[in-house]
Chain A
Amino acid sequence: MGTTELFVHPALAFIAAALILPFLPKGPRKVFLLLPPLIAIYTTFHNTPGTHLTINWLGQTLTLGRLDALSSIFVQVFAVISLAGLIFALHINDPAQHIAAMFYVAGSFGVVLAGDYLTVFIFWEMMAVGSTFLVLLNRTRESIRASFRYFLFHIFGGLFLLAGLILRYRALGTFEFTTALSFGLPFEGSTYDWLILIGFCVNAAVVPFHAWLPDAYPRGTVTGSVFMCAFTTKTAVYVLMRGFYGWDILAGAGAIMAVYGVLYASMENNTRRILSYHIVSQVGYMVAGIGVGTAMTLNGAAAHAYAHILYKGLLFMTTGAVLYSTGTTKLDELGGLAGRLPWVMLLYMIAALSISGFPIFNGFISKTMTIAGAAEAHQTWIALGLELAAVGTFISVGLKLPYFTFWGGKPLDMKRELKPIPVNMYAGMAILATFCIAQGLYPDLLYRYLPFPMTEANKNIFIPWTIWNVLQALMLLGFSGAAFYLMKDVITPHKALNLDFDWFYRLAGHGGMALLFKPCAWFDNIWTTVYQTVGLKLINFSAHFTTFFDRWIIDGLVDNTAYSVGGTGRVLAILQSGRLQQYLALMVIFITIVMALVWYLC
């Protein structure tokens, strides 16, 4: 079932660019960087839906280009953010970072367009590697260690995915990436589905598999974290949406994630870590939407993903710009910057209001859809949790973070040295901000790409711009803001490391190492002693024995045979005495003897 029109796979453009990039000089490199995302944007409008690029590999059919309504919306938003992100990163002169980003983005495209689990896995791992390098290339001790942990954890998650897909193949006989057959009520559903789910949930940062996110994302490069916030989790959201929609456990998990994220975000001191916890929270919205599984919530999850990529990207860009300029992300060290970085602040606020769901911005049109869909599906507690999370979101990201970054009760800080922020960073931020506002004001810009068209039959018509929706949002946010105002002192951030689930991860890691090392070392010591006392003696003895055997018996045999043959020759050569009479006599004697012997005996 493949269509014959030309299908341009955006991942190919990125991979090709990554391979060519090292060989380009600095100038053309900057221009060249923008080509793949432009190609990707082109493909979103050019490629026709269907199953493309089926290739045979090792006896399996891989589908590289499955394009339908669900995957096309993700391809579109990935293309947009990759363009904005690369514009944001134009000033980077380190080609390695660009290459890592290219591979990472290519991996995401690959997963989204994959039609079978094998392809998913291949690109999944490509994403893991690419993103590891985006953290590693920050080149501080902290980042390198964080990248290592990140990599370990993601490979661990990937193993779950691999185990699951192999078991699934054994059970079903196919790698085709379709929805799970069961609906995953606890203790229903097959082992392989759960394994695959775990693998996906690691990337989706579902609690308790989420701790890698706040560990690694704050430690990535300024530009790398922009990419990372957009792709890994949203790719996971896509695969969950494709494969596990309607699994109730996801609804509960999503709600927990949403609240969990904001709670931690309220505690944190590091701006980017606050945002990382917010990723957990916002993805919780999407996961909850997937879990509820109605057309409206799925649409809501997709819309939320789209909007989230845009405003989260903008959030990371702005905080990244602050990091780039000031050199720190610690809220207690920042403050008094509003005058000096006004545009950064403004762009930040656009994003912050988007994430909070303020009308005019795109968070409003997506978040409300998700909550409404959850409520209409009579998942009251889920909706409640999500509304609570909205409160927390506005408080932490919408108010706490900008307040303490730009104002913090401190006077205008003229003494701090601010690195000038390059134009391309502003350009990237501006692009995303424009999208945020445009979609907020004109929701159809987003709604027309949603996987489930809004029809009566689908029961998922949603109109965000109603008086009540706007009022409710304004009230919710306004009074949350009041809460913040009253609790300003309490919520002041200060330096602390908040324990999270990574405490368990590290325990497992260290425990495993200790388990391996201590007994192994003990055993190795014993073995070495045995080896030295018994083994070496044995070896020496056998060496002596074989030498003896070789020298006396084998060599003796061979050499003596040779000597005896040579000796025989020497003896016989005596017959050649040089005397003719002897020759003649010998001739006659020998021939007579031979003739006689032969004729009488034979």
Chain B
Amino acid sequence: MSDKQIKEPKTTLTALPESSAPVEADLATLSLLGHWLEKNRAPEQSCKWRTLLFGLLGLFMILNLFFHPHEPHFGVDAYPFFWPVFGLAGGIIMIFLVKKIIQPYFLARSENYYGDN
């Protein structure tokens, strides 16, 4: 019952290499929305989006200083920045736990482990 460790491939996902940018001809076959989506994947556009999103996160944190819950659920969540920390830490810990520890060492098996396929 010992399967080998599943190795995770490393990919760089932050920027698309120039050579893999979609060709204009291909873009023309897409629908309007599709065209717009693909265009926004281009590095200069995606940068703008990223900035926008992080800006919003910053805005939320500032707003958190002013707005508080009337009835805190846990007590601690009345404090500012609880929820950002909760979200970020919770997410990171969860992903790390699952993908780095639980899945590789305990749960992962080959796809045809049960012989169903």
Contacts and interface: CB of A to CB of B under 8 A. Distances in A.
Whether chain A touches chain B in the assembled complex (some CB pair under 8 Å): yes
A487 B92 contact: yes
A427 interface: no
Contacts of A342: 30-31, 33-34, 36-37
B108 A391 contact: no
Contacts of A479: 57, 83-88, 91
A339 B35 contact: yes
In the complex, which of the residues A146, A345, A375, A479 has the most CB atoms of chain B within 10 Å of its own CB atom? A479
Given A142-B116, A467-B67, A497 B109 contact: yes
A593 B67 CA distance: 140
Interface in B77-117: 77, 83-92, 94-100, 102-103, 106-114, 116-117
B27 A391 contact: no
B41 A391 contact: no
A499 B107 contact: yes
A269 B112 CA distance: 14
Interface in A370-426: 371-372, 375-376, 380, 383-384, 387-388, 391-392, 395, 407, 409, 411-412, 414
Given A339-B22, A346-B33, A489-B11, A498 B107 contact: yes
Contacts of B36: 342
B10 interface: yes
A478 B60 contact: yes
B47 interface: no
Contact of B21 (A346, A387, A411): A411
Given A339-B35, A383-B74, A471-B63, A412 B26 contact: yes
B22 to A, nearest CB: 4
A267 B6 CA distance: 12
Interface string A135-177: 0000001100110000000000000000000000000000000
Contacts of B64: 471, 475
A454 interface: no
Contact of A506 (B20, B84, B114): B114
A472 B83 contact: yes
Given A380-B74, A487-B95, A487-B96, A391 B31 contact: no
A476 B33 contact: no
Nearest to A149: B116
B91 A391 contact: yes
B94 A266 contact: yes
A412 B24 CA distance: 11
A387 B83 CA distance: 10
A495 B8 CA distance: 10
B70 to A, nearest CB: 7
Interface residues of A, number: 63
Interface string A180-196: 00000000000000000
Contacts of B22: 339, 411-412, 414
Contacts of B10: 489
A3 to B, nearest CB: 42
A483 interface: yes
B41 A497 contact: no
Interface in A536-591: none
A57 interface: no
Contacts of A328: none
A491 interface: yes
Interface string A241-266: 00000000000000000000011001
A488 interface: yes
B10 to A, nearest CB: 7
A421 to B, nearest CB: 12
Interface string B20-56: 1110001101110111111001000000000001101
Of B22, B107, B112, chain A has the most CB atoms within 10 Å of the CB of: B107
A51 interface: no
A146 B115 CA distance: 11
A411 B20 CA distance: 6
Contact of B13 (A409, A499, A500): A409
B88 A483 contact: yes
Interface string A336-380: 001111110110000000000000000000000001100110001
Given A391-B91, A477-B87, A489-B13, A338 B37 contact: yes
Nearest to B23: A414
A495 B77 CA distance: 38
A328 to B, nearest CB: 13
Contacts of A388: 90, 94
B83 A497 contact: no
A145 B116 contact: yes
Contact of A482 (B33, B83, B88, B117): B88
A384 B82 CA distance: 13
Nearest to A391: B90
A384 B73 CA distance: 9
B70 A468 contact: yes
Nearest to A337: B34
Contacts of B99: 266-267, 487, 490-491
Given A395-B91, A478-B57, A490-B99, A497 B114 contact: yes
B90 A266 contact: no
Nearest to A484: B91
A569 to B, nearest CB: 83
11 contacts: A340-B30, A372-B73, A388-B90, A414-B26, A467-B67, A468-B68, A476-B87, A478-B87, A479-B83, A482-B87, A497-B109
Interface of A: 141-142, 145-146, 262-263, 266-267, 338-343, 345-346, 371-372, 375-376, 380, 383-384, 387-388, 391-392, 395, 407, 409, 411-412, 414, 467-468, 471-472, 474-484, 486-492, 494-500, 506
Given A338-B34, A339-B34, A487-B95, 9 more contacts: A263-B97, A342-B33, A375-B71, A411-B20, A478-B84, A487-B96, A491-B99, A496-B107, A497-B112
Interface of B: 6, 8-13, 16, 20-22, 26-27, 29-31, 33-38, 41, 53-54, 56-57, 60-61, 63-64, 67-71, 73-75, 77, 83-92, 94-100, 102-103, 106-114, 116-117
5 nearest A-B residue pairs (beta carbon): A483-B91, A479-B87, A375-B73, A409-B13, A339-B38
